[in-house]
Structure 1
């Protein structure tokens, strides 16, 4: 089994505060990673595919925030910590069965490296394993993570991770949804995107964050823009009235209606 272990290249951040000195013992292959920027939120990603990052996170507002030093990303190549000549990272399941399982000795070294210098308090620095059996990711979780100093994510592969690693480090398991993917890399990018867009200064109009879906437990109301008439469809009159109170009331009613139709579970959550 072979994997691409080429060292990823990421855009060099602009000057943004002081650099943080962080003494550590690290594998030679990881000696040239981007230095920490003080006050910048940072995601450390343990993965077999480091070149998958930043991926789409390097585009649009998240990409600009990355270049401006509002946040950082550090892919950590799990293969570097592998065992033997071929740097094996997995083995057959104890008790038999199909597939392979990520080894605890290999992942343990990678987690130790990722946590070196990070806050011990998990509210300040969450440690997450992306797993289909984990708690489902939501906006509240993204908001909580955005208030941390950074986080470490473990991208699962194969049949999963040895349970002893999860128990030893008290790792939080999180799922993107009720489905199974080939690995955690795409899920990690989705969760990071949802998190970093909540960082101060990344989204220009902060009011838009307050009005979008899930911000208040409801799905977002319909949106319209010019032209006022398009293929026989008109913008609702109330939105053209200029009456802000009536507009706010209409948007709230529509949000409740759409939520009741599409996601009634959100209305039943306490």
Structure 2
């Protein structure tokens, strides 16, 4: 395998893949397992509230069938309506990471959502929880609205990434906040992971072409007709977008410009 020199660094850990997958909404466990494999992702996010306190005694979850030597668990605090709830879920998430042999895993995807209809993140609660968890040594990946100023505040607090939403969770509306996401990317010195709303590989590609450092998605794969195939497509979309960003797009021109200019042809003759 060709060595990857363009690795994603979050906290003090490096990853080859820039695609992260969620584990909810799959109709069958085998679909989730195949999707994770086909996506070639290395970070898998799981809602702490959906897990038993002891994974070893759990005969329902497919998590015990995953190879945690190759995957990194990203516990998330989904379902937390207050900062206090999210903090509690973060500590429980670390305990679950310890159960799969990742004792040094203090990653947490921080979600504080008090809005039951649109599931939009609470900026005040997120800031409060993030400040506490960073001080406690957690690697905090906060899920936020595409708010450039909030993103800067979270970076100043010591968050490892910021994760602006493309559009509401599970909506598949795509990148409705492109302008603000681009500002966040331009201002940030930490990785920017576009999270939520992406429905197609082309939308994942657009996010990466903007300069996003990664993409996290779930519903677009889990609710597709063929989750394993869609996961593979998302993997390719993220890779294509990253390569295009690094290559640098051509300059847009007002007038047409022939791809085979006559003066260039004459020089070749």
TM-score by length of 2: 0.34
